[in-house]
Chains A and B, each alone.
Chain A
Amino acid sequence: MAATDYRKPQDQLIYDLIEESNPGFKAAYPLGSLQFTNMSAITVDSADPYKRDTQVVCSGKTGSGVTGRVTVKYRRINLSTMFKNMSVVLTDWLPSNITILPRATWTASLAAKYGLSVVDADWNATYGGMTVNAVQPTLSVNSLCYTGGITGIVWKRGKQPMSNMIPDNKQVLVGRLYPGGNDFSNQSRKPVGEWQLYGLDASEIKSTIEGFAASTAVAVNDASAPVVALLNWLKANSGKTNWSTADSSVDGGIGGLTWYRYSLPSVSVPEGNTSRFNRALVIQSTSGSWFSGKLILHYNA
């Protein structure tokens, strides 16, 4: 005899029992054509090796074409025996503001954890939701396939399942991105600001850079000596020769943008942190700038 799969729906379990004692029954009568009614407990016959404790009437559903009725006797699954001497702890997640685990939820959790087909309607009506960490009294069932009860179930609040955190409509993540996006095939794609100056050592003009305010708005066409000195240094060292204070919409222009000085490492510009330098001048692009991202000019103080 094969082990019974208690996860099957209860009418399926009864149906299997009938087939086991009456081979060929399933072939003649599909489960969908049958109904099980008038279940009741019966006195166990001490001479019965199977200790049958229940009877139920098997008959055809209305309109199924099945006639007649048979009262079958069987033994239900006794939860008291199954869970004897066991501590049953259910760990289900619910938001912290919800302190009651609904009966339908803990029933489903119990069934899933222990491979049962017990359902919400099987429990005696007095049992409702469980509160966190409170030991429940004996919970009794009286159903087609289950009898007895479980003593001392405890609900502990579990961790949130990832499938609950990230439901199906959020499983497509934003994806990794290069500064300015990942489409490098587009001819009109803007240059990556970070890769214009990153790693260039501007320490030799640190006094010029440190002379600027920590946050400086660069005026369009600013021709002041320190700004010109910075631009000239960039022209000579960056491989790009058209740096200017023209409006930032023009290639090489930084006019209208704001630059910031940072000590590194910095949580404000983690992308600028590097083991080679302890300072950075950072210029953030705007939507109309010729580059995307940030220009990061490193130097050591």
Chain B
Amino acid sequence: MSIYLESKADLAAMLSVAAGVLIAASDIQTGNPKVTTADEKTQFSRNTRISVGFLESSTVGTSARVVYYDRLDLAPLAKANLHGAKVSPGSNLAAMIPVIRNYTGAVLTADDLVEHSAVLNDTTGVITFQLEAKSTSLGWYGSGTLTFEGAASIETAFSDDRLPGF
């Protein structure tokens, strides 16, 4: 299933299906993906256009061509049930990628996402992390916000706010 592969590997898998031969991610190079124009969307029903070519080192094939495919919107991924996963405020992208992988199964890499840090809301105790796709991501577009449970509020530690005094 698509979300369980790295973006480039998934593109290679789609190419393999179309070509009828096994094409690995290490066989290909790509140009930057482009959002399809309205006309292209009508004609091809896909949201992305990209030029894909074989690397010189590939033994599978040669030359390049333009293909159309769908990248995935990040917004639905941000709504996955994270089952109480904990992250620390300030966690960077490198720290968040394995968390996302472990709690959704989705394979994202630094090539897919813009660098953001986990942010703690001091009032609610909730920690959020913004998912934002790079325009050059081969597999994703759009954005979303992951929400994690923060540390327990300090209020839960108090059963009595009347202190005895000195």
Contact = CB atoms under 8 A, between A and B. Distances in A.
B72 interface: yes
Interface string B91-135: 000000010011111000000000000000000000000000000
Contact of B71 (A170, A176, A293): A176
Interface centre among A182, A196, A197 (most CB of B within 10 A): A182
A292 to B, nearest CB: 10
B73 A296 contact: no
Q: Classify the secondary structure of A's interface with B.
A: loop
Given A173-B67, A175-B46, A239-B83, A165 B72 contact: no
A275 B102 CA distance: 7
A160 interface: yes
A3 interface: no
Nearest to A298: B102
A196 B68 CA distance: 31
B89 interface: no
B30 to A, nearest CB: 12
B102 A176 contact: no
Contact of A162 (B4, B45, B52): B52
B102 A274 contact: yes
Interface centre among A162, A178, A275 (most CB of B within 10 A): A162
A271 interface: yes
Interface residues of B, number: 51
B151 interface: no
Contacts of B72: 176-178, 182
A162 B54 CA distance: 8
B157 interface: no
Interface in A152-170: 158-163, 165-166, 170
A170 B18 contact: yes
Given A194-B105, A196-B81, A176 B69 contact: yes
A199 B103 contact: yes
Interface in B42-56: 44-46, 52-54
B20 interface: yes
A192 B4 CA distance: 13
A274 B81 contact: no
Contact of B105 (A158, A173, A182, A271): A271
Contacts of A161: 61-63
B98 A195 contact: no
Given A159-B54, A165-B20, A166-B65, A176 B60 contact: no
A175 B67 contact: no
A174 B2 CA distance: 10
A143 B71 CA distance: 54
B85 A199 contact: yes
A226 interface: no
A204 B52 CA distance: 48
A272 interface: yes
A200 B83 contact: yes
Contacts of A179: 1, 3
A171 B67 contact: yes
Contacts of B103: 198-199
B62 A162 contact: yes
Given A165-B20, A199-B102, A271-B4, 19 more contacts: A160-B62, A161-B62, A162-B53, A162-B61, A163-B63, A165-B19, A173-B17, A176-B2, A176-B70, A176-B72, A178-B2, A178-B76, A184-B76, A195-B81, A198-B81, A199-B103, A271-B1, A274-B101, A293-B1
30 contacts: A158-B62, A159-B60, A160-B21, A162-B19, A162-B62, A165-B19, A166-B15, A166-B18, A170-B19, A171-B18, A171-B65, A171-B68, A172-B68, A173-B11, A174-B17, A175-B14, A176-B7, A178-B2, A178-B72, A179-B1, A182-B73, A192-B80, A195-B80, A198-B81, A199-B105, A238-B81, A270-B4, A271-B1, A274-B102, A274-B105
